[in-house]
Chain A
Amino acid sequence: MGQHKWAEQAPDEDFFRILTPDGSLVGDAPDLDDATLLGMYRALVLTRAYETHTIRMQRRGELSVTAQSMYEEAVGLGAAAALREGDWCFPSYRQFAAHLYWGVPMDRTLAVLRGGAPETIAEHLPLEKPPGVTFTPYGVILGTNVLNAAGSAMADKLNGRDTVTLAFTGEGSTSEGDFHDALNFAAVFKAPLVVVVHNNQWAISTPAHRQHAAPTFAHKALAHGLPGERVDGNDVLAMYQKTREAVDRARAGGGPTLIEAVTYRVVDHNTSDSAEVYRDQALAEHWKQFDPRPRFEAYLSARGLFSEALREQYEADCLTEVQAAAARALALPRSDPMTMFDSQLQGDPGWHLRLQQRELAAELSGVNPFTSIDPETLA
């Protein structure tokens, strides 16, 4: 373990907030009905149950690397709840709450993390009901997805549709050129795009102050000529409110918005990371008091929607749901190696792939591909 740990600067608390960490209101609560609020709360409980389970599965060798959003769920949840049916989302790998709020099936997500081919997953886990919001495969090289999201929003603008595209990225990938291309293109074309920078202050081991020298990540909007908001990312109501304003503005033709969601990565970057190597874990402990869940519960409680019994019921239901999804994902047959040739070029994949498919098929049946295939038979 290295001796040096990065010095860390706590972020400025100069941001938009509706709920204080103790759950009291410091602004007007958004106009959300009881059913929606409870739906959001259930998605929060489900996300935590899902992520807790994925760590266990990963440690048992049942999943590849997984990332968690624990203590940061309000970012994805509040933003995604501001969308409506028919909208599009280009997520990062830390927005499970957004996925789960819109009903992206956990069994499929887990099957992806088990390394299953998408064709196998689609065949064995058919979608009962497609999610109301279309989620693209999450960006692994973050930043690239924001630019594709700008293109998605441009397509809606050019066709006069009132659909909105939401993109998530991390504070680290605001250093990538793709991020700036995205803001620039979206602003120039007044595209209906909302970009959420999930600022959890760590890009694996690189602290936010090594990413940039601007006062805040919301400042990036200024140079590109679009509104920039800085929001308490641990306040689900604040995330909802500011995203909703941005979504409404985009839908009405007012163009894109950048939202910096300020939070803290309490957990490791992913299951392959050990944060204690490079940072003082006392600060992570400190940030646990800003957990978005108790303050949302306090708000629901004040509205007469919350009780310990409700939480216990949700937790029990969600655990059952997660376990059932995990069982379905684990029951999936291993992907046929031949599926690697699927979803390449449409129609004839060409001579090379036709030959190589036959070579793999020969290997799979224990035959020497180099002596058993006559290339002259490849029409």
Chain B
Amino acid sequence: MNAPTTGTTDLNLVQAVNQALRDELARDPAVRVMGYDIGPIGGVFRATEGLYDAFGGERVIDTPLSENGLIGAAVGMAMRGERPVVEIQFLGFLYNAFGQFVCLMSNVRERSGGQFSVPMTIRTPFGGGIKPLQFHSESTESYLIHTPGVRVVCPSTPAEAKGLLAASIRCDDPVVFLEHSRLYRAFREPVPDAPYVLPLDQARVVREGRDVTVLAWGAMVHTARQAIDEMAVDAELIDLRVLAPLDVKTILDSVRRTGRCVIVHEARRTLGLGAELSALVNEHVFDCLKAPVRRVTAFDVQFPENQTEDFYLPDIRRVRHGIESVLQYKF
């Protein structure tokens, strides 16, 4: 990453998001942070804390409670040269805005032959583990990825979040930026103080290895890492970072070397991103495979109630079982 080496502060992920928003608001007057409960209260997760005081109500805009209204209005603003950064309180609330997301936000540029662009970013918490109510724990990134014309970004650490969010806001395409709610306050790491951007077209190799490639994003990067460490297996762990468009080359190069691939995601299995990743491996590096591709995922049911969600989400044990299954496989 092209981060400056001078000056870092230990931040958690939500603080890193806040810092990126603050930097971008200061850098570009076209950036406007929008959402409900984002002004004086600073967001339900406090991602926008202090921004209203620093930049005022015309840069940090509390809106009526309507996801569809937010996305549709932001599309119109973006068509007029603004750079809206919309907070959707939870990914499960974005469904109300699906029409504007599919038909306008990700479609206006193509439909107008490039006459109009929509340089906006949707930030939204996603994922399970914090045990709130229904529709607060969704990992339905497949709905987003299936839509052409939009980038989908998902950081896994505070330093990653800061650079990827800055890059997303500066990007002239519509971007959905998925922030795993369980990671918001899970840990701190040194984050460079100065603004920086990370590339939106490169996966990150978290750990190099020779025996199996493990693909993950968001909180599952950490679950996979813990499973690998416990097993003392020589696994290569790749954090996808950007879910659309995918950095396929990094993935295929890795599986070509290891001959095995395990995909770990919180999303339901059927048509989760793992299905596409598995298909890519099978289509393009079939002759290197020593075992079938394994998907370690949640189940094809609704996100369950708090008391049972731990059995729904992939945990260290399920990841270990997945890795063991490909390492033990015999043709």
Contacts of B79 in A (CB 8 A): 136, 148, 151-152
Q: Which of A181, A188, A349, A375 has the most CB of B within 10 A?
A: A181
Contact assessment for A155 and B201 in the assembled complex, using a CB-CB cutoff below 8 Å: no
Contact assessment for A379 and B249 in the assembled complex, using a CB-CB cutoff below 8 Å: yes
A182 within 8 A of B: yes
- The segment out of A47-55, A66-74, A118-126, A200-208 that lies at the interface is A118-126
CA distance A349 to B149 in the complex (A): 9
CA distance A352 to B146 in the complex (A): 12
Give 5 A-B contacts (CB < 8 Å), ordered by A residue: A119-B114, A137-B108, A343-B114, A345-B173, A346-B117
A350 within 8 A of B: yes
Q: What sequence of 0s and 1s flags, for each residue 241-278 of chain B, a beta carbon within 8 Å of any chain A beta carbon? A: 00011111100100000000000000000000000000
CA distance A177 to B78 in the complex (A): 21
Contact assessment for A152 and B77 in the assembled complex, using a CB-CB cutoff below 8 Å: yes
Q: Enumerate chain B interface residues (CB-CB to A < 8 A).
A: 32, 58, 63-64, 66, 68-69, 72-82, 99-100, 103-104, 108-117, 148-149, 151, 171-173, 201, 244-249, 252, 284
Contact assessment for B72 and A352 in the assembled complex, using a CB-CB cutoff below 8 Å: no
Contact assessment for B72 and A148 in the assembled complex, using a CB-CB cutoff below 8 Å: yes
Contact assessment for A375 and B32 in the assembled complex, using a CB-CB cutoff below 8 Å: no
Contact assessment for A121 and B113 in the assembled complex, using a CB-CB cutoff below 8 Å: yes
Count chain A residues whose beta carbon lies closer than 8 angstroms to a beta carbon of B.
44
CA distance A150 to B69 in the complex (A): 9
For window 333-379 of A, CB contacts with B under 8 Å fall at 342-346, 348-353, 375, 378-379
Contacts of B58 in A (CB 8 A): 158
Contact assessment for B76 and A348 in the assembled complex, using a CB-CB cutoff below 8 Å: no
CA distance A188 to B149 in the complex (A): 31
Contacts of A144 in B (CB 8 A): 72, 99-100, 103-104
A141 within 8 A of B: yes
Contacts of A346 in B (CB 8 A): 109, 117, 171-173
Contact assessment for B114 and A158 in the assembled complex, using a CB-CB cutoff below 8 Å: no
Contacts of A156 in B (CB 8 A): 80
CA distance A150 to B114 in the complex (A): 21
Contact assessment for B113 and A178 in the assembled complex, using a CB-CB cutoff below 8 Å: no
Contact assessment for A185 and B149 in the assembled complex, using a CB-CB cutoff below 8 Å: no
**Given B103, B104, B245, which contacts A351 in the complex, CB threshold below 8 Å?**
B245
Contact assessment for A345 and B149 in the assembled complex, using a CB-CB cutoff below 8 Å: yes
Contact assessment for A348 and B201 in the assembled complex, using a CB-CB cutoff below 8 Å: yes
3 residue pairs, one from A and one from B, having the closest CB atoms: A151-B76, A350-B245, A118-B113
CA distance A188 to B57 in the complex (A): 13
Given contacts A155-B82, A351-B246, contact A185 B103 (CB under 8 A): no
Contact assessment for A350 and B80 in the assembled complex, using a CB-CB cutoff below 8 Å: no
A263 within 8 A of B: no
Q: Which of B63, B76, B82, B113 has the most CB of A within 10 A?
A: B76
Contact assessment for A375 and B252 in the assembled complex, using a CB-CB cutoff below 8 Å: yes
With both chains docked as a complex, state the minimum distance between the C-beta of A103 and any C-beta of chain B, in angstroms. Answer: 16
**Given A178, A184, A343, which contacts B109 in the complex, CB threshold below 8 Å?**
A343
CA distance A118 to B108 in the complex (A): 12
Given contacts A156-B80, A184-B64, contact A345 B151 (CB under 8 A): yes
Contact assessment for A351 and B80 in the assembled complex, using a CB-CB cutoff below 8 Å: no
Contacts of B247 in A (CB 8 A): 351
For window 108-137 of A, CB contacts with B under 8 Å fall at 117-119, 121-122, 136-137
A154 within 8 A of B: yes
Contact assessment for B113 and A181 in the assembled complex, using a CB-CB cutoff below 8 Å: no
Q: Which of B77, B151, B247 has the most CB of A within 10 A?
A: B77
Contacts of B69 in A (CB 8 A): 147, 181-182, 184-185
A149 within 8 A of B: yes
CA distance A346 to B200 in the complex (A): 12
New contact pairs (17) apart from A165-B76, A343-B109, CB-CB < 8 Å: A141-B99, A144-B99, A148-B73, A148-B76, A148-B104, A151-B75, A151-B78, A152-B76, A154-B73, A181-B68, A185-B66, A185-B69, A342-B114, A343-B114, A345-B245, A350-B246, A378-B249
Q: Which residue of B lies closest to A349 (CB)?
A: B245
Q: Which of A122, A151, A352 has the most CB of B within 10 A?
A: A151
Contacts of B248 in A (CB 8 A): 351-352, 378
Contact assessment for B68 and A353 in the assembled complex, using a CB-CB cutoff below 8 Å: no
Contact assessment for B77 and A154 in the assembled complex, using a CB-CB cutoff below 8 Å: yes
Q: Which residue of A lies closest to B151 (CB)?
A: A345
Q: Which residue of A lies closest to B75 (CB)?
A: A148
With both chains docked as a complex, state the minimum distance between the C-beta of A33 and any C-beta of chain B, in angstroms. Answer: 31
Contact assessment for A119 and B113 in the assembled complex, using a CB-CB cutoff below 8 Å: yes
**Given B72, B81, B108, B173, which contacts A147 in the complex, CB threshold below 8 Å?**
B72
Contact assessment for B76 and A147 in the assembled complex, using a CB-CB cutoff below 8 Å: yes
Given contacts A118-B113, A144-B104, A351-B247, contact A178 B76 (CB under 8 A): no
Contact assessment for B66 and A181 in the assembled complex, using a CB-CB cutoff below 8 Å: yes
CA distance A350 to B138 in the complex (A): 26
CA distance A156 to B68 in the complex (A): 20
**Given B68, B74, B171, B244, which contacts A178 in the complex, CB threshold below 8 Å?**
B68
Q: Which of A121, A154, A188 has the most CB of B within 10 A?
A: A154
Contacts of B245 in A (CB 8 A): 345, 348-353
CA distance A182 to B109 in the complex (A): 21
**Given B66, B110, B171, which contacts A344 in the complex, CB threshold below 8 Å?**
B110
Contacts of A178 in B (CB 8 A): 68, 72, 99-100
With both chains docked as a complex, state the minimum distance between the C-beta of A358 and any C-beta of chain B, in angstroms. Answer: 14
Contacts of A122 in B (CB 8 A): 113, 115
With both chains docked as a complex, state the minimum distance between the C-beta of B120 and any C-beta of chain A, in angstroms. Answer: 10
Contact assessment for B149 and A344 in the assembled complex, using a CB-CB cutoff below 8 Å: yes
Contacts of A182 in B (CB 8 A): 69, 72-73
Q: Which residue of B lies closest to A350 (CB)?
A: B245
Contacts of B111 in A (CB 8 A): 118, 137
Contact assessment for A147 and B100 in the assembled complex, using a CB-CB cutoff below 8 Å: yes
Contact assessment for B73 and A185 in the assembled complex, using a CB-CB cutoff below 8 Å: yes
With both chains docked as a complex, state the minimum distance between the C-beta of B182 and any C-beta of chain A, in angstroms. Answer: 28
With both chains docked as a complex, state the minimum distance between the C-beta of B286 and any C-beta of chain A, in angstroms. Answer: 12
CA distance A177 to B151 in the complex (A): 26
Q: What sequence of 0s and 1s flags, for each residue 69-109 of chain A, a beta carbon within 8 Å of any chain B beta carbon? A: 00000000000000000001010000000000000000000
Contacts of A342 in B (CB 8 A): 110, 113-114
